Structure 1
Amino acid sequence: MNIDFHQNFTQFFHALEILKPQENATQYMTFQSSIKEGAIHRFMPRADLEVVVSDYSFHQEHRMYISTAKPMVEVSYCLQGTRGVHISNCEYEVTPGTCTLQLMEQVEANFLFNKDESYQMVGIGIPVTTFNHYMEKINGNGGATKFSKVLQGYPYRLFQEKIDSLDLFMVKQLLEGIAANRMTNLELESMALQLLTRTFQTFFSHPTNSMEFSQDDRAKLSQAKAIMAGNIVNPPSLMELSRLIGLNDYKLKKGFKEMYGTTVFGYLREQRLEKACYLLQNGTMNVMEVANAVGYSNPSHFAEVFKERYGLSPREFVKYSSH
């Protein structure tokens, strides 16, 4: 098993001037430079997994250069702070509320940190062999989504999405468990692997094949998605949606599935449950009110759908969120 990907994290810590970065299983590291403050918590619950919790800020604008040592895959959740990065002649920006998936060979990276901005992030890193193993588990045949296939000959690729509501809930639970020093090694490993699996499913479990559809068709399908997202309480029927976007129902159903990896009403269901998660965590509405607010007139059906998606009933979710 390729475990030398840990060197990439060690190089990053060295560049940040972390106090004595070592490749130990668990480590709390503080800065030794006066231009920055904060700390990084590093965990290695098993040989092919690294979890890094970062919470720091800089007293002046700070640029940092590193060169990765080994190929790896990293999923990171940005909770605070906007960070710029220049890799392989491309500029990227990591902003709060985003989940970023990076696949990298040996690359050179330049980071830009803003003055007096707080940075809070959770990163999960794995070697290439582990990534390929999970792709096989998720898709049955990982050939189409193996590390080398995804890179397509490039040294680096980045995918980015808004953090899913359940993922954000899990990340916050992870942070709370670490802060209270009550998270076991096994719990940390389990939660990290769940987050990795969910992220890989988001980006790779539904390969698209939009080549059959014209640019105009794709624009209409994008319009259909926006219409459904904006009308989760009273959505149009498929026939109504077809008329609204000017596309026949066959192309609508087939195209939507190919472009977005789900059916029109599967997408609607996800949007409803995403908003339900937000409203339940917000704590200003009870379960019945939330059900109505996202388009479910039957609270029992809402509870059933919610538990099927998230593994917790709405009431259990509220209980865990409040803790």
Structure 2
Amino acid sequence: MQLTQDYRDKKVSPLTLNIMNAEVHSLFDQFTDLVQGSSQFSEWQEHISVPPAVGQGSIRRTRIRSGMEIVVTDITFAQDMKLHIQEACQLFELSYCLNGEIYCEWNGRESFTEKMTGNVLFFEDELVYEEKKAGIRQHMLEIRLSPQELLHYAGDITEKHRMESWLHRHKGQIDEYPNTPAIHKCVSDMMNCSYNGTMKRLYMESKAMELIALFAEVEGHETVGGNRFLSRDDLSKLEQARQLVIHHFEQPLSIQQLARRVGLNEFKLKKGFRERFGITIFELVRKQRMEKAIWYMETEGYNVGETAVSVGYSNASNFATTFRKYYGCNPGDYLKAIGHSRTSSP
């Protein structure tokens, strides 16, 4: 994780907070008090801005009801943020990280969350250490519920038993779930909600229900019994394949090479990859290349040709065609736009 130059130069000491999370809503409340955030309240929503000494950005919380809240964090910390959280209540959480890097440690276990990943957890009595590095935008959606509120959404006894199995399966764990296109769209809808007041609360709750339902579909790939196309061992190998694709996106491995590396036949690799992650291997390579291309142009100041080569394209024309399909504009036009934005900024 690379810190910003300002942070390295100033050698700012990390900020360490100790929080006792006695009920679902207390984490937000205590964090606000400890960082001395500036708060704005409405009937259903609270918005806090952190002071400059802590960082830049804000946190929004929508309280759906007692025992359920939706929290959107968008902060770049000025110093490393270290949290010691005593989870003294039962907490079920679905989260989605749009950007950031979060390290967690609890009960001898570790978890590292990065951008475009979703996590599910169920904590009952855990001491959790959490660390977020300075200079990295932390953009996160969290749906936080008590188990009773989760079961509130069960339509019948079968669904209730399924949800109870989630709690049992994920107890004491932070587990990653696949980033399917439907999940990504649902999260995007929640992040870009334009409603206010009661309508916003209703919209956010409906989207939270949708995300829970989409998670249920993901969980279906791991249920016991029935026609199981993928075993748990297969799922582990597919995750290895996903990591290899991400690591080698500039010079992608062939399907044959990838299948050999993880120990799956090519049919199961291709079909299982699409079912597990909601995206094909080719689409993931393209996604990684396009996201990295934006980074090279915005952060490193590369021109179109330099960017094309850096993300694995030998032909700048092919790169431009893919970029246009992915983002809706030519890379040259994008460079002009960000150049104009920088020159016009105060």
Q: Deviations over 1:17-47 (max 9, x none)?
A: 4346989621111124613221101101333
Please list the CA deviations of residues 187-237 of structure 1 after superposition, one character each: whole Å capped at 9, or x if unmatched. 111011111221233135742469x9xx9x9569958x97xxx9xxxx9xx
Q: Aligned pair 1:284/2:300, yes or no?
A: no
Name the structure 2 match of 1:70. 89
For residue 40 of structure 1, what is the aligned residue in structure 2? 59
**Structure 2 contact 58–74 (Cα < 8 Å) conserved:** yes
CA contact (8 A) 2:178 2:218 kept: no
Is 2:275 the partner of 1:267? yes
Provide closer, same or farther for how the CA distance between residues 24 and 59 of structure 1 changes in structure 2, counting only shifts above 3 A. Answer: same
1:127 and 2:146 are equivalent in the alignment: yes
Q: Matches of residues 248-263 of structure 1 in structure 2 within 5 Å?
A: none
Mapped partners of 2:158, 2:221: distance in 1: 6
1:259-298 CA-partner distances (Å, limit 9, x unpaired): x9xx9699399546x959x89xx8728xxxxxxxxxxxxx
**Shift in Å, 1:111:** 1.5
**CA, structure 1 residues 118+269, in 2 after alignment: closer, same or farther (shift >3 Å)?**
closer
Among 142, 164, 184, the alignment partner of 1:168 is 184
Distance in 2 separating the partners of 1:269 and 1:29: 34
- Using the size of structure 1 for normalisation, the TM-score is 0.60
Determine whether 1:96 maps to 2:115: yes
Note the C-alpha offset of 1:106: 2.5
Matched, 1:187 2:206: no
Q: Between the two proteins, what is the percent identity of the paired residues?
A: 17
In 2, are the aligned partners of 1:71 and 1:127 still within 8 Å (CA)? yes
Q: 2:149 is paired with a residue of what secondary structure?
A: helix
CA distance in 2, matches of 1:146, 1:92: 22
Q: Secondary structure at the match of 2:26?
A: helix
- Separation in 2, partners of 1:9, 1:67: 13
Is the 8 Å Cα contact of residues 67 and 109 (structure 1) preserved in structure 2? yes
C-alpha displacement of 1:150: 2.5
Partner of 1:60: helix, strand, or coil? coil
- The amino acid of 2:134's aligned partner reads K
CA distance in 2, matches of 1:209, 1:90: 29
Match of 2:128 in 1: 109
Q: Is the 8 A contact 2:100 2:139 kept in 1?
A: yes
Q: How many residue pairs were aligned?
A: 250
| SS of equivalent to 1:177 | coil
Deviates more, 1:122-131 or 1:28-37: 28-37
Distance 1:161 1:122, change over 3 A: same
CA distance in 1 between partners of 2:158 and 2:178 (Å): 23
Matching residue of 2:175: 159
TM-score by length of 2: 0.57
Preserved CA contact (<8 Å) 1:5 1:69: no
Indicate conservation of the 8 Å contact 2:178/2:276, yes or no: no
- Identify unmatched segments of 5+ residues in structure 2: 1-21, 246-254, 256-262, 291-322, 327-346
Tell me the amino acid that sits aligned with residue 96 of structure 2. Answer: Y
CA contact (8 A) 2:177 2:218 kept: no
Could you tell me which of 30, 49, 62 is aligned with 2:49?
30
Aligned equivalents of 2:123, 2:235: Cα separation in 1: 34
